[in-house]
Amino acid sequence: MNIRTTILDLKVFCRFTALIITSLIVCHTSRAQFTIVDDLRGNNYPHIKVGGGDVQAQGEAYFTSGIDDPVGSGWLRLTKDLTNQRGFAYIDRSFPSGMGVLVDFEYKMWRTRNDSYGGADGLCVFLFDAEADFRLGGYGGSLGYAPNTAAYINEGLAGGYVGVGFDAYGNFSNPSEGRNGGLGELPNSVVLRGPTTNNANTTNEYLAGAQLSPDRMSNEVDYDITTTTRPSSDEFYRRVQITIMYNNAERLYDITVRWTKKPGGTFTDLITYQTTEPPPPTMKVGFAASSGGGFNYHEIRNILVTTLGNLRTVKLANRDYLIPENATGGENNKEITYTIEVVNDTDAPIESIELRDTIKDAYGNTLTPSTFRIDSIQVLDTNVLTATEPIHQVSPNVLRGTLSIISNSTGRIEVKGTLLQTPPGNHIVNTVKLHVPAGTDQDTLNNISSVRTPVYAQGVDLILGDIIADGRCIDYVNGNTFTVQVSNMGTDDVNVRSNNITVEINHPAGITFLLLPPTASRWTVESNSPTSHTYRLTNPSLETLRRGFTHPDAIRFRLSPELTDIPTRSTYTVSATVTQQKDGEHNNNENNTSTAPLHNCTVTANPMIRQRAKW
């Protein structure tokens, strides 16, 4: 196997492009339109900040893709099912609150072995002032949001507006350890706490709550049947929506927490609360979880943050990965069901909604009928959603139709298909777009939704995932750090030692290269020049790379351009290519390249931007 990494210089005209893009972003956000979408199935989310306690003793949040789950099928794991864990994550992108806010996500809370507590502690989702410097509250029963004076944390989350706790153990509603108000220790509860203040007697007050079951061992907030694998969606599924909207009639802010326990199911309100406390003008969203003597895995996925009071769509899929019909194992993993949710948040019906749905490969090419076949199309909720022009294929794997939907309702469309062979890039990307007449929809940014599904090819298929950089901007002072890892997207496991892995890194003159530890303990230098560096994997920590997983021996290096390049170097792109010595007849080369662009950030784009799902 050979891996070649090349650093490409681009031209100064990219600055002009960046200015145009920035202008477009400002135009959208000036009308308070925003949508943040993160599926959390992958591992490259530089805008999501994760952390926790001491990594060795208490763990910290991390993305499971390629580590504990197959590549592109992961979760954001806040804690493991170990004692005294704590972890957090927040999306470092601000969004306005003027049009109302919807936070939509899925979670799993489960464990592999018994504890004597019935699972603990829980997870919290919180909204906080985007202008505040991030600082967590206390862990344990405070779930990262409220104070915990027993642990010497006397303040709640900095800038906190609301914290919603999904409390397996029951202490988030307990007025102890510096937490203000509450009804006592209530397991299996959903609890709402209020803003962080400078007064220890009023900060993060208990606002409302709902106990779903007094039995610690009931499968409500967490899954209380020990299992060696994550419970399936049929066994345990929780999708949560939190909304904050100004009520003009009552001059109050309505906060609602609802969930569904079935994929595609109807949402049930858990908490409805009204407050005179306005939200900050701009906010961010985050999550935290903790364990103590009792423990659970606490995991989240499929985050959507967007506006209310308009039309929007959400795309869902019932599979984490696919194997084509012509590959080993394809007979049980070739079929997929997509669900398109069309949501009307307004008090009036919306007509003449044009729907376009496409199924493409990882490079944006529509799949041919020999690669993917659509088997059926069905509108499920005909009482609220009507296809005035039937949804049909206008060409292979391209769907169109015209819809109308009644007020304050959700209608679903189901599309079923079969994967016949491996697509370029080992992924299927299914995207739905809605278009309505001008003036009908206040926010069009949430009228598009995508699902990206990994595909395992026959045999061994080594690819490079995203090249993970330490940021988007060129750091002329400290340099930029890059991480490259090899993944196996084939149906077979591979012995990495016998496949002779070689990495070649090339970069332009004027950029200093430095290999970072622990790379040198696993890789041996074969050749070196001012602009080219070749290494061979001679001491792998893992001999066998399983299908769907990422090898832990990463290539880490730092690139440092000269300060004199600041006026002339607008962008450079890191490009990595992998080829395998023993690919055999099933060699799949078109997926062997990955890139990561960095920019001279003399112009800073508005941070309130749409984030596409990545694996």
**Last-in-domain residue among 306, 334, 362:** 306
**DSSP-derived pairing of the beta strands 76-79 and 268-275:** unpaired
Question: Around Cβ 20, how many Cβ atoms within 10 Å?
Answer: 9
Residue 453 pLDDT exceeds 70: yes
Hey, how many other C-beta atoms are within 10 angstroms of the C-beta on 371? 21
Residue scoring higher pLDDT (332 or 433): 433
What average pLDDT does this structure show over 127-148? 96
Q: How many Å apart are CA 404 and CA 411, to the nearest integer? A: 10
Asked whether the predicted pLDDT for residue 575 surpasses 60, the reply is: yes
Tell me the pLDDT band of 502, cut-offs 50, 70 and 90: confident
Judge if 88 and 219 occupy the same domain.
yes
Average pLDDT for the chain:
88
User: Is 54 part of any domain?
Assistant: no
Q: Are both 260 and 353 inside the same structural domain?
A: no
Is residue 93 in some structural domain?
yes
Question: Would you state the pLDDT for residue 24?
Answer: 33
Q: What are phi and psi of 280, to 5 degrees?
A: -60, 155
Q: How far is CA 516 from the centre of its chain?
A: 28
Are residues 548 and 321 in contact, defined by beta-carbon separation less than 8 angstroms? yes
Q: How far is CA 382 from CA 180, 313, 379, 413, in A?
A: 47, 17, 6, 9
For residues 522 and 420, membership in a common domain is answered with no
Cβ atoms < 10 Å from Cβ of 265: 11
CA–CA dist 586, 460 (Å, integer) = 8
Are 293 and 342 in a shared domain? no
Q: Is 127 in the same domain as 7?
A: no
Residue 511's CATH number: 2.60.40.1510
pLDDT of residue 21: 34
- The residue among 306, 340, 361 that closes a domain is 306
CATH classification of the domain holding 426: 2.60.40.1170
Asked which of 156-165, 230-239, 308-317, 472-481 is least confident by mean pLDDT, the reply is: 472-481
In the prediction, which pLDDT does 332 show? 86
| Straight-line distance from the first to the last Cα atom of the chain, in angstroms, rounded to the nearest whole number | 23
- Average pLDDT rounded to a whole number, residues 500-512: 80
Confidence grade of residue 588 (pLDDT, cut at 50, 70, 90): low
Are residue 409 and residue 378 in the same domain, yes or no? yes
Q: Is residue 604 part of a domain?
A: no
Question: Which region, left, alpha or beta, applies to residue 336 given φ > 0 means left and ψ of -120 to 50 means alpha?
Answer: beta
How far is 431 from 421, CA to CA, in rounded Å?
20
**pLDDT classification of 579: cutoffs 50, 70, 90:** low
Q: Which residue has the tokens 């390629």?
A: 66
Q: Are 508 and 531 in contact (CB under 8 A)?
A: yes
State the Cα–Cα distance between residues 73 and 360, nearest whole angstrom: 18
Is 525 within the bounds of a domain? yes
Q: With 70 as the cut, is the pLDDT of residue 23 above it?
A: no
Q: Do residues 359 and 230 both lie within one domain?
A: no
174 shares its domain with 288: yes
**DSSP per-residue string spanning 60-104:** B-EE-BTTTB-TT---EEEE-SSTT-EEEEEE---EE-TT-EEEE
pTM of the model: 0.88
* DSSP assignment of 326-344: TSTTHHHHSEEEEEEEEEE
- Residue of 176, 138, 142, 123 lying closest to 53 (CA atoms): 138
User: Are the CB atoms for 34 and 310 separated by under 8 Å?
Assistant: no
Residue with structure tokens 């019935």? 118
Residue 93 has pLDDT above 90, yes or no: yes
User: Has residue 161 got a pLDDT over 70?
Assistant: yes
- Residue 615 forms part of a structural domain: no
Mean pLDDT of 525-553: 89
Report the C-alpha gap between 473 and 75 in whole angstroms: 27
Condensed to tens digits (0 to 9), the pLDDT of residues 334-391 reads 999 999 999 999 999 999 999 999 999 999 999 999 999 999 999 999 999 999 999 9
Residue 76 bridge partners (DSSP): 63, 300
Instruction: Say if residue 485 is in the same domain as residue 369.
Output: no
Please answer whether residues 452 and 429 qualify as being in contact, where contact means their C-beta atoms are separated by less than 8 angstroms. Answer: yes
How far is CA 203 from each of CA 5, 147, 303, 330, rounded to the nearest angstrom? 52, 8, 27, 55
Q: Tell me what pLDDT residue 412 has.
A: 97
**Could you tell me which of 48, 44, 78, 85 has the C-alpha nearest to residue 61?**
78
Checking if the pLDDT of 85 tops 80, the result is yes
Q: Could you tell me if 318 and 221 lie in one domain?
A: no
Q: Residue 308 has which token pair?
A: 């209310």
**DSSP state letter for 463:** E
Range of the domain at 522: 2-12+460-599
Q: Is 35 exposed, middle or buried (0-12, 13-18, 19+ CB in 10 A)?
A: buried
pLDDT beyond 70 at 115: yes
**So what's the pLDDT on residue 25?**
34
Q: Mean pLDDT over residues 470-475, rounded?
A: 86
Q: In the listed set 409, 444, 479, which residue is the last one of a domain according to the structure?
A: 444
| CB contact at 8 A, 58 and 82 | no
- Reported as a single tens digit per residue, the pLDDT across 28-76 is 343 468 999 999 999 999 899 999 875 555 568 999 999 999 999 999 9
- Residue 408's closest CA among 246, 259, 240, 267? 267
CATH number at residue 195: 2.60.120.200
Is there a contact between 445 and 610 (Cβ–Cβ < 8 Å)? yes
Whether residue 611 has pLDDT greater than 80: no
47 domain residue, yes or no: no
CA 433 to chain centre: 20
The count of structural domains within the chain is 3
Average pLDDT (223-229) is: 97
**Nearest Cα to 48, choosing from 122, 108, 110, 105?**
105
Higher pLDDT: 379 or 600? It is: 379
> In the chain, pLDDT over 70 holds for what percent of residues?
89
Contacts of 20 by beta carbon, 8 Å cutoff, 6+ apart: none
> To which residue do tokens 């991030």 refer?
134
- The DSSP secondary structure of 466-535, one letter per residue, reads --EES-SB--TTT-EEEEE-EEE-BSS-EETTTT--EEEEE--TTEEEEE-TTHHHHEEEEEE-SSEEEE
The tokens for 154 are: 């006397």
Residue 212 sits in the same domain as residue 358 = no
Name the phi and psi angles at 78, rounded to 5: -80, -40
Q: Is residue 605 part of a domain?
A: no
How confident is the model at residue 59, as a pLDDT?
66
The tokens describing 51, both together, are: 């952390």
- The answer, yes or no, to whether residue 612 has pLDDT greater than 60, is no
Q: Spell out the long-range contacts of 382-385 with Cβ–Cβ below 8 A and sequence spacing 24 or more.
A: 384/409, 384/410, 384/411, 385/342, 385/409, 385/411, 385/412, 385/413
- Model confidence at 503, pLDDT cuts 50, 70, 90, reads confident
Instruction: Identify whether residues 219 and 177 lie together within a single domain.
Output: yes
Query: Is residue 274 included in any domain, yes or no?
Result: yes
Please compute the mean of the pLDDT values over residues 84-98 and round it to a whole number.
94
Dihedral sign, CA of 439, 280, 39, 344? negative
